A and B are shown apart, each in its own frame.
Chain A
Amino acid sequence: MNDRFPIDLKVNGQRYQVDVPVYRTLLDFLRDDLGLTGTKECCVVGECGACTVIVDGRTVNSCLMLAVEADGGEVLTVEGLAAGGRPGPLQRAFLEHGSAQCGFCIPGQLMSAHGLLLENPHPAAAEVHEALAGNLCRCAGYEQITEAVLAAAEEVGG
């Protein structure tokens, strides 16, 4: 036991083998150590969802997870949603539907929406509301966000 711990994980498909301080949250690791600042920090108590990322296929609040807990896992952040630099279907739908206003909550919203579509490719509006209930948007663009998620599901799912 000491205050650093070696971890080996993949972030957006890229492998990292690093020693991290054990007190470092996954959020701080992504933002400060890897420079992936698309993941946002706001409430740091798991209420706002701005820091949402996907770990091993599941959405999590990266502010409530220590980086060491992601050891051996695969992390997907908003930066990993654009394949080859081209925005993915959810991202395009968010643009087309005006879902991003100030944009600060949007990476978290996108990750929750992505997590939902992984499990449920054809959600109903109420299921979108449920899946995104942990992502606060003070611009309150919830309607346009929901529309974008449904449209992206349509596009991808056919």
Chain B
Amino acid sequence: MQAFAYARPESIPEALALLAEHGSGAHLLAGGTDLVIALRNGSLRPTVVIDLKRVTGLSPAIRREDGHLCLGATTVMRDVERDAEVLRHFPALAEAASWVGSVQIRNRATVVGNICNASPAADTAPPLLVYGAVVLAVGPDGERRIPINDFFVRSRQTTLPAGSLVTGIELPLPAGRMGSAYTRLTRRRGTDLASVTMCAGVDGAGVTRLAYGSVGPRPVLVCDESGVLADPAAPDEVKAPILEEMLAGASPSPRSMRAGPEYRLAMLRVLGRRALQTAIDRLAKGMA
């Protein structure tokens, strides 16, 4: 393992000061499940690693606030997958969190870390997109709210301004009824990186949102407001062209080891239909 310095700030201003002082040489540490690998294999060579776990105000707790649920900067996957409020209002997020790595990984890996790494295959990204999450950030210029769809750029790149850090993720509680589901394609059933990720959300007004990933540089959010996709009675041949258009944003890399582009595109459609069906079923059952 390479040498680096380690800092453990106790407050947000202290953390921001460290970021300002070290610039691009600084790297934030939350769960560390990606960072420590990068430190060991040398793909990242920071001068200082800033551990956020003792910062007051960056708590691991999941808080119910007025009209929304808030995940903390250090909330781990394992807590998200089992949280009663998440399970009730955002089941697809719980499903996605439960698919990340192993229990050991999920006990350390954070949702905020997952989206800040911005891997196109990040499991939590599609449900956060479908649920209209907002990324809460703080930086030298103060606080900022970034809609999650404006957050992702490409792998390892987000719109988080330099010198800033993410303090939490806000999930607006659905105003009316909603059904949602997350699914993914992997090479085996046990822990695996996804070759395709897919989340579907259908609300009582007939609006369908799909978000998918691992088929392009960043996860994609698309929306159907015609009500056709959400309509259980609509025939497949009417749904198919709409779905086709919604999935047109996929451009899987031919270089991936996990699956070929042709297969990924085909599976995107299969998973899209399946997630949509589950979401519609859940809406009907009043399951969120």
Contacts and interface: CB of A to CB of B under 8 A. Distances in A.
A135 B191 CA distance: 10
A45 interface: yes
A23 B4 contact: yes
A25 B4 contact: no
A134 B105 contact: yes
B78 A69 contact: no
A69 B101 contact: no
A112 B103 contact: yes
Interface string B102-144: 1111011000000000000000000000000000000000000
Nearest to A61: B104
A77 interface: no
Interface in B133-190: 190
A43 to B, nearest CB: 10
Interface in A5-62: 5, 21-25, 28, 44-47, 49, 52, 58-61
Contact of A60 (B1, B2, B107): B107
Contact of A69 (B1, B32, B37, B103): B32
Contact of B1 (A24, A52, A59): A24
Contact of A134 (B4, B8, B103): B103
B39 A133 contact: no
B68 interface: no
Contacts of B229: none
A65 interface: yes
A153 interface: no
A112 B104 CA distance: 8
Given A1-B5, A52-B104, A112-B104, A25 B36 contact: yes
Nearest to A111: B104
A68 B8 contact: yes
A66 B36 contact: yes
A18 to B, nearest CB: 15
A116 B40 CA distance: 29
Contacts, number: 90
B104 A69 contact: no
Contact of B39 (A23, A130, A131, A135): A23
A141 B147 CA distance: 47
B51 A134 contact: no
A89 interface: no
Contact of B190 (A1, A45, A68, A133): A133
Nearest to B36: A64
Interface string B28-45: 010011001101100000
A151 interface: no
A66 B32 contact: yes
Contact of B6 (A22, A58, A130): A22
17 contacts: A1-B48, A3-B3, A3-B5, A21-B3, A22-B5, A22-B49, A46-B33, A46-B101, A49-B102, A61-B102, A61-B105, A64-B105, A69-B32, A112-B103, A130-B103, A134-B103, A134-B104
A135 to B, nearest CB: 8
B53 A46 contact: no
Output the residue of B1, B37, B102, B191 with the most chain A CB within 10 A. Answer: B102
A107 interface: no
B249 to A, nearest CB: 31
B5 A2 contact: yes
Given A49-B104, A68-B51, 6 more contacts: A2-B5, A23-B3, A45-B37, A130-B103, A133-B191, A134-B103
A120 to B, nearest CB: 11
B7 interface: yes
Contacts of B36: 25, 63-66
Interface in B80-105: 101-105
Given A60-B107, A112-B104, A134-B103, A46 B5 contact: no
Contact of B103 (A28, A59, A64): A59
A44 to B, nearest CB: 6
